[in-house]
Amino acid sequence: MSIKLVRYTKLKMKIRSYKKVVAFATGVTLLTAPISSFAEKKEDNTNQPVHVQGQSNAEKLSVTDKQALKSIEESFKNVDGRGISSEDVTDKIDSATDNSKSSSKSFRSSSTINGVKYTKWIIPKGNSNIRPGYSMKPKYITIHETDNTNVGAGARNHAQYLYNQAVGNTDRAASWHYTVDDKEIYQHLPIDENGWHAGDGNGDGNRKSIAIEIAVNKDSDYNKSVENAQKLVAYLMNQTGISSSNVVKHQKWSGKNCPAIMISRGQWSSFIERANVFAKGNKPAELKKTIQINGIGVNVRSGAGTNHSVVRKAYKGEKLDVYEEKNGWLRVSEKEWVFYNASYIKYL
């Protein structure tokens, strides 16, 4: 065999070997790539909202929204915002707000309130359990919390819920003027009409107060929702002349533990204080820092020291604003303190 033939044979063998390697590598790619892409696509699809057909509104509800609406419906299942039977309501409905004819017409407009996105979506007349239509000159602003931590149970879906109730045949009396979350404000009722929210019948809670619901869904920032509510309260105080002394908890009217989170954290006084600052056109002092609780069962005390009583346990993952530091203790609300330890508290 000549030298040229040997070289040619070796080169041919190398080419064949290279082709096999390429073919094998290509085969592996073809086998693995679709599996990987499918997994990624499948994972992506679980996070993408699947739209529900047949919705009359331009905004079609996603499955996530549909689930959130179900949770909102469930949370209001046994709620009676009126607090008395309909026979006890004797006042006449003003002709300007006569609800005798049902209508599904509802218009939206958008702007901002103290820098917060605001949507005015007044629910239609027709169902007096949802839009009673009694004229009102408000003297109070009542603060509620939705008490619904389900994902998606924010301001927009509460607005959708009230709309659905208003155009439906529900005999459950529950309605309010505004819902606020960490991103936006929705208005549902005119502030010169009452809502059924306080549970005190024809008392001042139902008949003379503007109701604000603060959303507490777990996919939102509760502290930011509270701040947005403070900005709304400030706006309403300036618009109506209602003083901060007449900004009250739902608890005032019916004894219900609401707004529950704010009450449990002792944050009511600071809520009013910061609303007053916003009302004066000022910006409240910046918070020092924010911490995250990474431990389990961390004691939250009523003062800066172990001699103070434990008011609650902070939960793992809870984020708290720090208002003051004192001898290693951090004040996280008006009357709540935690002791800083890097093993279970992290500054963000």
User: Which residue, among 195, 108, 131, 183, has the nearest Cα to 152 in the 3D structure?
Assistant: 183
Tell me the domain boundaries of the chain. 80-279, 289-347
Tokens for 159, please give them.
């607005």
Other residues' Cβ atoms within 10 Å of the Cβ of residue 40: 10
In CATH terms, are 80-279 and 289-347 the same topology? no
Cβ-contact 205, 199 below 8 angstroms: yes
Tokens for 27, please give them.
């085969």
What is the arithmetic mean of pLDDT over 152-167?
95
| pLDDT at 348 > cutoff 60 | yes
| Alpha-carbon 123 to chain mean position | 20
Residue burial 260-288, b: 16+ Cβ < 10 Å; e: rest: bbbeebbbbebbbebbbebbeeeeeeeee
| pLDDT at 194 > cutoff 70 | yes
| pLDDT at 11 > cutoff 60 | no
Predicted local distance difference test score (pLDDT) of residue 58: 39
Other residues' Cβ atoms within 10 Å of the Cβ of residue 151: 13
d(CA 187, CA 155) in angstroms, rounded, equals 9
Place of tokens 């809520």: 271
Q: Quick check: helix, strand or coil at residue 82? A: coil
Q: Quick check: helix, strand or coil at residue 95? A: helix
Predicted local distance difference test score (pLDDT) of residue 57: 45
- Please list the residues that pair with 299 across neighbouring strands: 313
Q: Quick check: helix, strand or coil at residue 334? A: coil
Predicted local distance difference test score (pLDDT) of residue 286: 63
Residue 314 identity: A
What is the arithmetic mean of pLDDT over 54-72?
66
| pLDDT at 318 > cutoff 60 | yes
Q: Quick check: helix, strand or coil at residue 107? A: coil
| pLDDT at 35 > cutoff 60 | no
User: Is 3.90.230.10 the CATH number for 289-347?
Assistant: no
According to CATH, the topology of domain 80-279 is Lysozyme-like (3.40.80)
Question: Which burial class, exposed, middle or buried, applies to 198 when counting CB atoms under 10 A from its CB (0-12, 13-18, 19+)?
Answer: buried
